[in-house]
Amino acid sequence: MKRETHQFAKGMAFLAPWLIGFLIFTVAPIALSFYYSLCRFSLLQPPRFIGVRNYADLMHDGVFWQATGNTFYYTLMALPAALLVSLGLAMLLTVEVPGRAVWRTMIFMPSLAPIVASAMLWMWLFNARLGLINVLLGKIGIEGPPWLTNVHWALPALALMSLWGVGNAVVIYLAGLQDVPRELYEAAELDGAGIAGRVWHVTLPMLSPVIFFNLIMAIIGALQVFDVPYIMTNGGPAHATYFLSMYLYDNAFVYLQMGYASAMAWIMLLIVLALTGLAFLSSGRWVHYQGK
């Protein structure tokens, strides 16, 4: 027993630097943010406890609901698109074609580009008068919209741009695809399955844990989107691309309403938890693990 205690102490001693950091820089701020969400707090003055007033005010805050709606709408557009495109690209990249390594590199490279540089590039691409997208659309007789200045097109434009960063997910899918046993494809082929059948009955079930992982990461990423709209549209036009994370940031650091922003952060956390929980609950039906 004494020996075990000694071992435990040693383990804790080695763990201590991380553990102390985790407690000070993660657990304490999370706990404090919950307390602040129940206060009026401007950072420069001591927090004043006001109960659930911030949460009640949020329920009547039109901008909060608009930002929440925008966040969900964006998630609904960007999430399936990112999953489908990244999975499709990964499958295409498994095909034996000349220069396959080059194609893989090209698809992964955009995700390495700094976000500000990517955003500036896409602002040019979306430029209604001079942008490449509208110029190409014009070549086929389609008059492109003013992507970033039209209330109806700005959000879809951002969702479209989010596909630029699917390289990471593609790499993960590629790794997953390497793990699909060849014999399963051979068996399916012997059973008369065509390409679509092999994808549907072999690839997707075998890849489902990877899809599930990417889904969770994409849900969290989409709900926290901030930098791209902050740079490209600053929330406009008329709040059409104003996301929850941007409203939270403005409240915290521009309006100095740290308590209100903390309440918003907790609601955002609950939304992420709820959606992730739903994904986990549903995973029993469609996620298949090898050997189970």
Partner 1 sequence: MKHLLWRISLSLILASVLAFLALGPRPTSSAGKGRVRIEYWEKWTGLEGQQMQQIVDAFNDTVGKEKGIWVDLVSMSQIDRKTLISTAAGVPPDVAGLWDTQVLQFGSMDALEPLESYAKQYGLTPDRYKPVFYDGCKYHGRLCALPSTAWCVALLWNKEIFQQKAQKLREAGLDPDRPPRTIAELDKYAAAIDTWETGGGGGRHLSLTGFIPLEPGSFTNEYVYWFGGRVVDPTGTRLLFTTAPFFATYNWIRGYSHRLGKDSLAEFRSGFSSGATGLFDTPQNPFLVGWNAMEQQGPWIAAFIEHLKPSMNRWHVPPDQLRREQDFQQVRIGMTYAQVQALLGPGDPLAGSSGQSLHWPAGIKDVYVTFVDGRVSSKEARLIPARQRQQYCQWGAAPFPTAVPGLSNVTYAGMDVWVIPRTSRHKREAFEFIAFASRQAQIEKLSSLHCNLSPLAEESEQYLRNHPNPYVDVYEALAASPNALPLPPLSNWPQISDELGQVAERSYLLQGTTAQILANAQERAQRELNKALNVPENTNLDARAANAQ
Site of interaction with partner 1 (CB under 8 A): 10, 42-45, 62-63, 123, 126-130, 138, 141, 143, 145-151, 154, 231-234, 236-239, 250, 253-256
Least distance from partner 1 to the Cβ atom of residue 153, Å: 9
Least distance from partner 1 to the Cβ atom of residue 110, Å: 21
CA-to-CA distance for 45 and 41, rounded, in angstroms?
7
Residue 11 vs 194, nearer CB to partner 1: 11
Query: CA-CA distances (angstroms) from residue 50 to 56, 58, 133, 268?
Result: 11, 14, 51, 20
CA-to-CA distance for 39 and 259, rounded, in angstroms?
5
What are the residues facing 49 on neighbouring strands? 39
Least distance from partner 1 to the Cβ atom of residue 32, Å: 13
Least distance from partner 1 to the Cβ atom of residue 271, Å: 23
Residue 145 vs 221, nearer CB to partner 1: 145
Residue 44 vs 190, nearer CB to partner 1: 44
Residue 199 vs 231, nearer CB to partner 1: 231
Nearest-CA neighbor of 222 among 243, 236, 237? 243
Residue 10 vs 100, nearer CB to partner 1: 10
Nearest-CA neighbor of 252 among 237, 238, 271, 266? 266
Query: CA-CA distances (angstroms) from residue 55 to 38, 72, 259?
Result: 8, 20, 10
Nearest-CA neighbor of 171 among 214, 228, 219? 214
Least distance from partner 1 to the Cβ atom of residue 139, Å: 9
